[in-house]
Amino acid sequence: MRSRSFILETVSRLVLFVILIFSLYLLLRGHNAPGGGFIAGLMTSATFVLQFLAFGPTNQRNILPINFRLLIPVGLLTSFTTGFVPLLLGKPFLTSAFGHATLPILGEIEWATAVLFDLGVYFVVVGVTMSIISAIGEE
């Protein structure tokens, strides 16, 4: 049996959302500032690993019933499609479109299809990292 650590459990509950939100922030700004899908994916995986360590593999699967292996092709497909659609529209592969939009509350923001590509990378990184860690960790 695994011994439970009260301190680790409490802390990981507290920091979970902080890290997740920060990783989303990195993901969304990645296409024109430091950040991006890769680093955001690693950071998200780090929070999951922390949960994994604090609560054990079974509990984690109950909280987060995601098949991480499936995330890999999903991410690849997302990135692939983002690259491929411009090709169908007569632009070179991977061309990114961007523009400005006004949203309620947030005001004017810049959108770019590069975010979708980053999202794909994000999925792949989370999928790969979590698959590897759970494959090694559950033994």
Partner 1 sequence: MMQSNWIILPVLFPLFGAILNFFMPKRVKAQKLVAATALTATLLYSIYLLSYTRTGAIAVFSASDWPAPFGIVFACDLLSAIMLVASGIVALAVLFYSFWSIGQGREQHNYYAFYLLMLMGVNGSFLTGDIFNLYVFFEILLISSYILMALGGEKEQLRESFKYMVINIIASALFLVGVALLYAVTGTLNMADIAVKVQAASDQGLLTVIAMIFMIVFGIKAAIFPLYFWLPQSYPTTPPAVNAAFGGLLAKVGVYVLFRIFTLIFINDIGYTHSILIFIGGVTMLLGVLGTVGQMDMRRILSFHIISQIGYMILGLGIFTPLALAGGIYFIVHNIIVKTALFLTAGVTDQLTGTTDLHKLGGLLKAYPALGLTFFLAGVSLAGAPPLSGFFGKFVLIVAGLEAQHYLVIAVAIGTSLLTLFSMMKIFRYAFWGQPREYQPQKYGRFLAPAAILVVLSLAMGIGAEWMLDVVSAAATQLLRPELYITAVLGA
Q: Which of 16, 53, 57, 80 binds partner 1 (CB under 8 A)?
A: 80
Q: How far apart are CA 49 and CA 91, in angstroms?
A: 40
Phi and psi at residue 107, to the nearest 5°: 80, -155
Residue 12 is encoded by which pair of tokens? 């990981």
Q: Which of 19, 24, 53, 76 binds partner 1 (CB under 8 A)?
A: 76
Secondary structure of residue 112 in the 3-state scheme: strand
Q: Does 121 bind partner 1 (CB under 8 A)?
A: no
Secondary structure of residue 46 in the 3-state scheme: helix
Stretch of 3-11, 20-28, 50-58, 70-78 lying at the interface with partner 1 (CB under 8 A): 70-78
Interface residues toward partner 1, by CB under 8 A: 70, 72-73, 76-77, 80, 84, 87, 90-96
